[in-house]
Structure 1
Amino acid sequence: MTKQLKIDIGHYSSAGIKAENQDSVNYCIPTGSTLESKGIVSVLADGVSSSEAAKQASDTAVKSFIHDFYSTPETWSTKKSCQQVISAINSWLYKQGSTHATELRGWVTTFDAVIFKSTTAYLVHVGDSRIYRLRDGDLSLLSKDHTTWINSDRSYLSRALGIDSILQIDFKQLELQPGDIFLQTSDGVHDFISDAEISAILGSTHTAQDKSQRLVERAIANQSDDNLSAQVSEVIQLPSATKQEVYEKLSELPFPPELQPGMKIDGYEILQELSLSPRSQIYLARDMENDQELVLKTPSSNYSDDPWYLDGFVREEWIGQRLTHPGLMKTYKSHKSKQFLYFTTEYIKGQTLRQWISENPTPDISTVRDLISQLSSALRAMHRQDVIHQDLKPENIMITPEGRIKIIDFGAVHAAGLAELASVLQRQHPEGTLNYTAPEYLMGEPGSKRSDIFSLGVICYEMFCGALPYEEKKVNKFQLKSYQHMRYIPIQKRRKELPLWLDQVLKTACAANPVKRYSLLSEFIHQLKTPQDVKVQQDFEPLLQKNPVLVWQLISLSLLLTLIASFYFR
């Protein structure tokens, strides 16, 4: 049976000898799918006593982080979620402390968070509170105090939430092992207790709650003169699954039978078959409850025993429900109990971009520019959600009768949030379709937003001239030894009337080496719209490459003249 992540967490906090406890500590262990997609959060903040609103600052930081972290998109990576949330909290605290928003001046606090997701711990740290880990009896300090020492007796906090409008946080990720024990402490604890004492208490058989209390009580006994807080998180079990378990989970629902017009499935009436391919069947259907027309997509029985295919099919539905943009196909959440494996999407009338390219062999620049701008807007919406499409091609793009673009396939997408989950499914080949796949995938390197820009550049090139910017690759060759092996074909060789500035833009968009590519979609679109900003660079092309016949003619002529001269002087 598939195992879930289990963490035993406990905390204890005390004002100590002070009248007010300005520390704040808490955690959240969600249930259901949120446990898998976002993980478990453990947070500690120590309000800086020199600020008037120290307690309010620490309470706000802890409560806001837990609430807002779980409100970030599931597609976001943990790092992006943390950065966005912490930045917002810091801005709010800084504004509260530096304006007349309240009577209290200075909303400053240290901050530590540990996020346990799948088989990884993500650490967020700013200030002089600390994060430790005990593994196999060995205690390690995982955070660095952000303090600056004036002399041996005096120091000040150089980084904390609320000090400045600009914040630099430490972010670290570590692989988890069962039995790992993480400890978060305020300085009222770790300044008054030795590493040996910490190791002894953490290594005992007590619960996480008891260990936290014992650490605080030991520091008090050691004459701590500050607020004291400790939070202990012990890894009891890590999520794991065998390939068989993953397959069984993905194939819980049976494949639908072959559907025909007039057949009914889970409250949907099949109206007609729209598309049939080796990978899926797509039908126009009617929701019998509200009379809405929609598309019903079913998996191909050819892949009934392929976990990776099933994972992509399920992922496509999941992603489509979390992306919102007029240029991205919507997938609907089922409000009925499914009896079979399928999902439903909006019904998009029109033609594929592949059909459009066939019907428009020599389009003008403004028409292509408009369609590419729409595509870029849809891709940008995906990238903002930490999602890379990875399989952009003319067949996966629809154009409505009104001239609007829709991306319709999400089966190969990379969502940063999903990628953080441990999986036994291993990719056997690069994502996407070979001639539109970014070269870095073929080199065995990870993709990025620039990978989608490459695919968009290839599509733009093909829209102008109906051909590819590189020689077509063989289907069975998935490896590329060097970016230099790919030679860009100037678009003027396809359509002589197209301007040089356009070729420069396209060459940059689909540059083989991602470093030489546009880093942002906005850069690509800006240059596509403003040719006056494009610096045309004429690449030197050796004569042997440009006109090999002429070169050999000149060599032959030279040899002939040499022979004649030799004969004459002899």
Structure 2
Amino acid sequence: MSRLDRHDHDLRFEIGFATECGRRPDNQDYAAARIGRPRLDARRDAVAAVADGVGGGKGGREAAELAVRCFFDGFFGLPGSLGVQQAAARSLDAVNAWIVAQSRVDPQLAGMATTFTALILSGRAGHCVHIGDSRLYRFREGALEQLTEDHVIGRGDFKNILRRAVGLEHALRIDHAEFSLRPHETFLLCTDGVHGALSDARLREILGFRESPDALAQKIVEAAITAGSADNSTAMIVEILDTPPMVEREIRDHFGELPIVAAPEIGNLIDDYRIDSLLAEGRYSRLMRAHDLRGGGEVVIKFPQPRVAADKVFRRAFINEAFVASRVRSPWIGEVIEQQPERQTRLYSVMPFYDGETLEQRLQKAPCVSLQEGAQLATRLARAIAVLHRAGIIHRDIKPDNVLLLKGGGLRLIDLGVARLPQIEDFPPEDIPGTPSYMAPELFSGAGGDEMSDLFALGVTVFRLFTRAWPYGEIEPFSKPRFGAPASLTALRPDLPAWLEAAVAKAIDVDPAKRYGDVLELAFEIELGARSGSPAAPRKIAFYQKNPLLFWQGFSALLAFLLAWALLRR
């Protein structure tokens, strides 16, 4: 068995394999993996390959090993400017010619041939190069898919006889497929000693175990032997841990060609997604719960509402979400599932279905959020925002509607369509969106948004988390508010401590220079206060700020008294 780890330009994967002779006296399978080495190889790709020798005795093993080793030498010696498909075809053609020649000049190798199946990892793309009846499977989100076709006669007594193999004939016909790589998916390469003995259901069951690639490969081989496999059994597992981020041009090209059409109705079938229910509908988008008929599992699909905004604005929002998803992987940030271009026929984005509710929904329920619960939610949300800020991303629409509270206690910050991204074209100034009640004063003056405006929105969200009110009142769209003194948190919730009011007041100060240095400072202040109970020095709040209505009622009564007294004196 062997195991190989690699981190290369953010492509991370792990490989393991196992092989057994089974009932055969010798092993004619051969499996290996190789990664392009800097300054030694022309290519930086990674290749995992299996081959099953044909011809018996020395010939079968020789053909299998020659095919894999010589393919590696040829492929990694060709320049990276040559596409993967072309480089693989040239290499395999040379291997085929060599094996055909050897079988003719050496009587001990006469009739030797081999199957050949390779998985090539190149950036964000996977490639399959295949000939014969060894196989490549993809296991993704609980679903198993065979990516290769068996080149066998498939009828009667000759059903297992190969009709295509390396070394079988001069003209080599190779199958090639390209597909997008996705984190957390697993590939299985195996010979017919495995797939001939194990059903797809059994393979899916074994691949569902959360074990290392070596352990999975060994389990598969042992299961094949136990099931009565009479042939050599070889399995190679390639687990994708992470993929390189998409570049903006790739995302823009993909979304730029997709049409914007009316959002579907419940029961419609869109690109093998069955629309099951409506989750939410807003002015700009419709969120639908759907079932993925290809990969299985529940997802949420966001469809744009046509004729509400310019196409460019819509596409910018979907590009933003895909761009963030390709660069930020965090348990605090909502994911976007990358779609294969050949599958997607219209503009939408797909997200996992998170079982829970929004913070806004929680605020509509009794009882009010307690100090401990609120402090925990506030610090988690601050950490989610900090993840984005470390990546140079400004959310720009932080509010309870965009915070998901998961049933298991987790939290996800979602809806990154209006985010400001580093070195990426922004929305036109007149189209920069946001929710007015959570927008910092500087945004109403034309600022594009930064960490301080996100901090302000976080402060407003925390204020609302505890009080269900807005510190500066609910602001109507398209209005330009005047920011006076904020409402008092402790006046609305007398059970809360003064240090919490002081912390929130600093985060929502009208002057950005007077706010915290970053969102984590606010999180630390709240976390420390909730744990120790020691108050941050509270600022003195005027009676007018605590209860302006009572202040003006008293002031009016005083004026009335003075007026009456003056009239009586006359």
Match of 1:547 among 547, 551, 555: 551
Match of 2:492 among 494, 511, 514: 494
CA shift in 2, pair 1:305/1:249, >3 Å: farther
CA shift in 2, pair 1:342/1:560, >3 Å: closer
**Alignment of structure 1 residues 475-554 onto 2, 5 Å:** 475-477=477-479, 479-480=480-481, 485-531=483-529, 532=534, 534-541=536-543, 547-554=551-558
CA shift in 2, pair 1:563/1:330, >3 Å: closer
CA shift in 2, pair 1:290/1:538, >3 Å: same
**Alignment of structure 1 residues 28-427 onto 2, 5 Å:** 251-256=256-261, 258-303=263-308, 305-337=310-342, 338-418=344-424, 421=425, 426-427=428-429
What corresponds to 1:454 in structure 2? 456
User: How far apart, CA to CA, are the structure 2 residues paired with 1:426 and 1:331?
Assistant: 24
- 1:199-255 deviations in Å (ceiling 9; x for gaps): xxxxxxxxxxxxxxxxxxxxxxxxxxxxxxxxxxxxxxxxxxxxxxxx999652123
CA shift in 2, pair 1:288/1:336, >3 Å: farther
SS in structure 2 of the partner of residue 345 of structure 1: strand
In the TM superposition, residue 440 of structure 1 has moved relative to its aligned partner by 1.1
Amino acid at match of 1:380: A
In the TM superposition, residue 560 of structure 1 has moved relative to its aligned partner by 6.2
CA shift in 2, pair 1:289/1:336, >3 Å: farther
SS in structure 2 of the partner of residue 428 of structure 1: helix
SS in structure 2 of the partner of residue 431 of structure 1: coil
Amino acid at match of 1:281: R
Give yes or no for contact 2:429–2:446 (8 Å, CA) kept in 1: no
Q: Structure 2: any 5+ residue segments left out of the alignment?
A: 1-251
Amino acid at match of 2:285: S
User: How far apart, CA to CA, are the structure 1 residues paired with 2:301 and 2:405?
Assistant: 19
In the TM superposition, residue 258 of structure 1 has moved relative to its aligned partner by 4.3
In the TM superposition, residue 474 of structure 1 has moved relative to its aligned partner by 2.7
Amino acid at match of 1:308: V
SS in structure 2 of the partner of residue 285 of structure 1: strand
Give yes or no for contact 2:471–2:488 (8 Å, CA) kept in 1: yes
User: How far apart, CA to CA, are the structure 1 residues paired with 2:380 and 2:298?
Assistant: 25
Give yes or no for contact 1:361–1:465 (8 Å, CA) kept in 2: no
In the TM superposition, residue 380 of structure 1 has moved relative to its aligned partner by 0.5
In the TM superposition, residue 365 of structure 1 has moved relative to its aligned partner by 0.3
Amino acid at match of 1:403: G
Give yes or no for contact 1:321–1:332 (8 Å, CA) kept in 2: no
- 1:7-39 deviations in Å (ceiling 9; x for gaps): xxxxxxxxxxxxxxxxxxxxxxxxxxxxxxxxx
SS in structure 2 of the partner of residue 403 of structure 1: coil
User: How far apart, CA to CA, are the structure 2 residues paired with 1:279 and 1:257?
Assistant: 12
In the TM superposition, residue 364 of structure 1 has moved relative to its aligned partner by 1.0
CA shift in 2, pair 1:537/1:381, >3 Å: same
In the TM superposition, residue 336 of structure 1 has moved relative to its aligned partner by 4.4
Give yes or no for contact 1:250–1:307 (8 Å, CA) kept in 2: no
SS in structure 2 of the partner of residue 415 of structure 1: coil
Amino acid at match of 1:445: A
User: How far apart, CA to CA, are the structure 2 residues paired with 1:527 and 1:248?
Assistant: 44
SS in structure 2 of the partner of residue 301 of structure 1: coil
In the TM superposition, residue 413 of structure 1 has moved relative to its aligned partner by 0.4
User: How far apart, CA to CA, are the structure 1 residues paired with 2:433 and 2:557?
Assistant: 46
CA shift in 2, pair 1:513/1:405, >3 Å: same
Amino acid at match of 2:552: P
CA shift in 2, pair 1:299/1:533, >3 Å: same
TM-score with structure 2 setting the length: 0.50
Give yes or no for contact 2:440–2:453 (8 Å, CA) kept in 1: yes
User: How far apart, CA to CA, are the structure 2 residues paired with 1:502 and 1:441?
Assistant: 25
What corresponds to 1:81 in structure 2? none
User: How far apart, CA to CA, are the structure 1 residues paired with 2:370 and 2:436?
Assistant: 27
- 1:282-337 deviations in Å (ceiling 9; x for gaps): 22233333323222222112337432233113322222232111111111222341
What corresponds to 2:160 in structure 1? none
What corresponds to 1:474 in structure 2? 476
Paired residues, what number?
314
Higher relative contact order (CA 8 A, sep 6+): 1
CA shift in 2, pair 1:336/1:306, >3 Å: closer
User: How far apart, CA to CA, are the structure 2 residues paired with 1:272 and 1:445?
Assistant: 38
TM-score with structure 1 setting the length: 0.50
What corresponds to 2:433 in structure 1? 431
Amino acid at match of 1:517: R
In the TM superposition, residue 261 of structure 1 has moved relative to its aligned partner by 4.6
User: How far apart, CA to CA, are the structure 1 residues paired with 2:306 and 2:565?
Assistant: 72
Give yes or no for contact 2:254–2:341 (8 Å, CA) kept in 1: no
Amino acid at match of 1:499: P
| Root-mean-square deviation (Å) | 3.0
In the TM superposition, residue 563 of structure 1 has moved relative to its aligned partner by 7.2
Give yes or no for contact 2:359–2:400 (8 Å, CA) kept in 1: yes
User: How far apart, CA to CA, are the structure 2 residues paired with 1:542 and 1:409?
Assistant: 38
User: How far apart, CA to CA, are the structure 1 residues paired with 2:519 and 2:271?
Assistant: 41
State the percentage of identical aligned residues. 24
Q: Structure 1: any 5+ residue segments left out of the alignment?
A: 1-246
User: How far apart, CA to CA, are the structure 1 residues paired with 2:308 and 2:562?
Assistant: 64
In the TM superposition, residue 373 of structure 1 has moved relative to its aligned partner by 1.2
User: How far apart, CA to CA, are the structure 1 residues paired with 2:560 and 2:353?
Assistant: 66
